[in-house]
């Protein structure tokens, strides 16, 4: 945990706003070149966040195409081929283009500030990892315009639908995923190097803010599993172009092997998308409860336990693929075990609030909604872990409801909470309270209208990824579609909040929130381009 009180901003460890340019010793490029060549962690962080926001809207539009088609039974707006491309691209863009880069952006901005480092450990690599992303996603989006269309086999791209039966553009999809994967690995290396080497003198590992801890663990997960993804898509590439038969039964291969490899990557991947969210919420709840985080050490251990378990549960995505009984039992037990450390986290957050002094600023609203809604997603996750019941839940809208609850009102709300929490540090202004509250409440209503009915349509028997459905699912889908459009439209308010916040608004002091404790609140708001050029003195808090 960080120091009791933020160290006073003294000239010793923080320069003023204009300082960066004058002291860098050479003229900084301007305009486009400034952003293309920047090696500054804050600028790169901003680039990541803006990129992620753009992808969030593109992926959101794809989702709305899906929801519009599902508004009522029958095929009205799009044909099944295009529908499948929309569900696939929505998933790929949101996972690899929106959620992951948003967390990397937050890490770029906040990890150096929270550990008192002047920048990321490998600034040029940082630039490269960001600029790989626009290339990767332009390539991915361009497949929609190619003959035969873009990827249409779901974001999990199961072989042989994604190999023998795939559209010709699949090789481009593979290349774009390779680029995004390289970007993730490089980013993860950079974050690990920064955290392990550049902490302020006196800051031990167990003094680090939880956002730093969760990101450290996430970065190790990324390094462990992105190469597995790279391997599996390379095998696909070989099957498609060079006549190998890794996943083709007719040539001696095994379509189920694809799923083992994919989910060995894929399950840690879903924790990659939630662990940093735990870190953000673990910063916000103590701040607005004006009370230290309950059970700091157990939070760290729980995060590590979840990360380790994530390598032992992958086949719970494959309960109906024809695994032997012993494998089913093993993966059912390990999956149920995950509920324990996850429960510890939720209990700790609640215990932090208990006997606190709680106020409800916008970041806290989003963090509280995260706790409740993520827990709902956790409950359905526990239900899905029960292998016999999964034979009914699997591949239905119940699963769609589950993973959207952990990813949208879960991970995404944590990202929004983080954005509201740190916007004063980024821009020097508080976001408009009134607009933020509208954004919050419309988002909460929209997101629950969209995803809660999906539990029901799934239990009632609606499979996922279908462009048209039987009549008994019509009412649930109508509500989901209306909710989806409400949620999508209310995210425009978020853009408005950001624009207004950048341009002006109530000025924020260095310590923008009364109960905030970590090092980032010791530098001025907005944070100058260069901070902690000499390391701050860090006072560990008594444990």
Task: Please give the positions annotated as active site.
Answer: 90, 119, 155, 183-184, 267, 269, 271, 282, 316-317, 342, 345, 464
Sign of CA dihedral 402, 408, 409, 415: positive
Dig out the tokens for 475 from the structure: 């009412």
Q: Pick the closer one to other proteins by CB: 60 or 378.
A: 378
Q: Pick the closer one to other proteins by CB: 104 or 449.
A: 449
CB 96 within 8 A of CB 90: no
User: Segment 274-313, which members bind other proteins (CB under 8 A)?
Assistant: 289-298
- Per CB under 8 A, the list member of 392, 495, 506, 507 interacting with other proteins is 392
Dmax over CA atoms of the chain, in Å, equals 70
Question: Candidates 99-107, 263-271, 358-366, 500-508 — which segment interacts with other proteins by CB under 8 A?
Answer: 358-366
Q: Pick the closer one to other proteins by CB: 21 or 333.
A: 333
Question: Candidates 12-20, 42-50, 129-137, 471-479 — which segment interacts with other proteins by CB under 8 A?
Answer: 471-479
User: Segment 20-39, which members bind other proteins (CB under 8 A)?
Assistant: none
- Per CB under 8 A, the list member of 20, 118, 123, 343 interacting with other proteins is 343
d(C-alpha 41, C-alpha 25), whole Å: 18
CB 470 within 8 A of CB 397: no
CB 494 within 8 A of CB 56: no
SS3 of 424-439: HHHHCECCCHHHHHHH
257 binds other proteins (CB under 8 A): no
**Closest distance of CB 69 from other proteins, Å:** 11
346 binds other proteins (CB under 8 A): yes
Burial label, 158 (beta-carbon count in 10 A; 0-12, 13-18, 19+): middle
**Closest distance of CB 295 from other proteins, Å:** 5
- Per CB under 8 A, the list member of 456, 485, 496, 500 interacting with other proteins is 456
d(C-alpha 300, C-alpha 1), whole Å: 11
Q: Pick the closer one to other proteins by CB: 205 or 360.
A: 360
DSSP string, 87-147: HHHHHHIIIIIIIHHHHHHHHHHHHHHHHT-SS-S-HHHHHHHHHHHHHHHHHHHHGGGST
DSSP string, 165-195: TS-TTHHHHHHHHHHHHHHHHHHHHHHHHHH
444 binds other proteins (CB under 8 A): yes
374 binds other proteins (CB under 8 A): no
d(C-alpha 336, C-alpha 344), whole Å: 14
CB 456 within 8 A of CB 430: no
CB 247 within 8 A of CB 160: yes
**Closest distance of CB 39 from other proteins, Å:** 38
- Per CB under 8 A, the list member of 472, 489, 495, 507 interacting with other proteins is 472
Number of residues that bind other proteins (CB under 8 A): 106
Q: Pick the closer one to other proteins by CB: 57 or 347.
A: 347
- Per CB under 8 A, the list member of 360, 495, 507, 534 interacting with other proteins is 360
217-227 CB burial, b ≥16 within 10 A, e <16:
bbbbbbbbbbe
**Closest distance of CB 354 from other proteins, Å:** 5
209 binds other proteins (CB under 8 A): no
- Per CB under 8 A, the list member of 68, 223, 238, 460 interacting with other proteins is 460
What distance lies between CA 78 and its chain's CA centroid? 29
List of residues 6+ apart from 426 with CB closer than 8 A: 42, 46, 109, 526, 527
CB 519 within 8 A of CB 113: yes
- Per CB under 8 A, the list member of 10, 12, 16, 76 interacting with other proteins is 76
524 binds other proteins (CB under 8 A): no
**Closest distance of CB 342 from other proteins, Å:** 9
**Closest distance of CB 186 from other proteins, Å:** 32
206 binds other proteins (CB under 8 A): no
User: Segment 55-74, which members bind other proteins (CB under 8 A)?
Assistant: 73-74
Q: Pick the closer one to other proteins by CB: 36 or 297.
A: 297
User: Segment 130-189, which members bind other proteins (CB under 8 A)?
Assistant: 147-148, 152-154, 158, 160-161, 164-165, 167-168
């Amino acid at each position: 945990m960080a120091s009791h009180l933020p160290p006073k901003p003294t000239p010793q460890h923080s320069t003023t706003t204009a300082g960066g340019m004058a002291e860098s010793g050479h003229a900084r490029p301007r305009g486009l070149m400034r952003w293309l060549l920047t090696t500054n962690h804050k600028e790169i962080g901003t680039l990541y966040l803006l990129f992620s926001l753009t992808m969030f809207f593109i992926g959101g539009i794809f989702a709305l195409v899906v929801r519009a088609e599902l508004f009522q039974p029958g095929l009205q707006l799009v044909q099944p081929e295009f529908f499948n491309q929309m569900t696939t691209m929505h998933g790929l863009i949101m996972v690899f283009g929106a959620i992951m880069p948003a967390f990397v952006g937050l890490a770029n901005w906040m990890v150096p500030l929270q550990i008192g480092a002047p920048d990321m450990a490998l600034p040029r690599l940082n630039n490269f990892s960001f600029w790989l992303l626009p290339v990767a996603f332009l390539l991915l989006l361009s497949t929609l315009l190619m003959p035969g269309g873009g990827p249409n086999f779901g974001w999990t791209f199961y072989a042989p639908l994604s190999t023998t039966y795939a559209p010709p553009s699949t090789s481009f999809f593979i290349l774009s995923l390779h680029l995004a994967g390289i970007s993730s690995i490089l980013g993860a290396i950079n974050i690990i190097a920064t955290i392990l080497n550049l902490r302020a003198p006196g800051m031990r590992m167990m003094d680090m803010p939880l956002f730093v801890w969760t990101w450290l663990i996430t970065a190790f997960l990324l390094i462990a599993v992105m190469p597995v993804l790279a391997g599996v898509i390379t095998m696909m590439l070989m099957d498609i172009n060079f006549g190998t038969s890794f996943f083709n039964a007719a040539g001696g291969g095994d379509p189920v092997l694809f799923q083992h490899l994919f989910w060995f990557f894929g399950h840690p991947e879903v924790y990659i998308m939630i662990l940093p969210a735990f870190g953000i919420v673990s910063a916000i709840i103590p701040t607005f409860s004006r009370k230290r985080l309950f059970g700091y050490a157990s939070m760290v251990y729980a995060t590590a336990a979840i990360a380790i378990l994530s390598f032992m549960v992958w086949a719970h995505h494959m309960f109906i693929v024809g695994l032997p009984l012993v494998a089913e039992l093993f993966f059912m037990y390990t999956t149920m075990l995950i509920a324990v450390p996850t429960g510890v986290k939720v209990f700790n957050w609640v215990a932090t609030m208990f006997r606190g002094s709680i106020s409800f600023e916008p970041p806290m609203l989003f963090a509280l909604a995260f706790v409740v809604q993520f827990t709902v997603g956790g409950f359905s996750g526990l239900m899905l872990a029960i292998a016999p019941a999964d034979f009914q839940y699997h591949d239905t809208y119940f699963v769609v409801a589950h993973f959207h609850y952990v990813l949208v009102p879960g991970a995404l709300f944590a990202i929004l909470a983080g954005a509201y929490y740190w916007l004063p540090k980024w821009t020097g202004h508080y976001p408009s309270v009134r607009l933020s509250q509208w954004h919050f409440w419309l988002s909460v209503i929209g997101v629950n209208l969209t995803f809660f009915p999906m539990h029901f349509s799934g239990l009632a028997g609606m499979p996922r990824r279908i462009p048209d459905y039987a009549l008994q699912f019509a009412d649930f889908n109508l509500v989901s579609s209306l909710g989806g459009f409400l949620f999508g439209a209310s995210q425009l308010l978020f853009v408005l909040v950001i624009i207004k916040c950048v341009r002006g608004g109530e000025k924020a002091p260095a310590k923008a929130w009364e109960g905030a404790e970590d090092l980032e609140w010791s530098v001025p708001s907005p944070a100058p381009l260069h901070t902690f050029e000499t390391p701050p003195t860090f006072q560990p808090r008594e444990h």
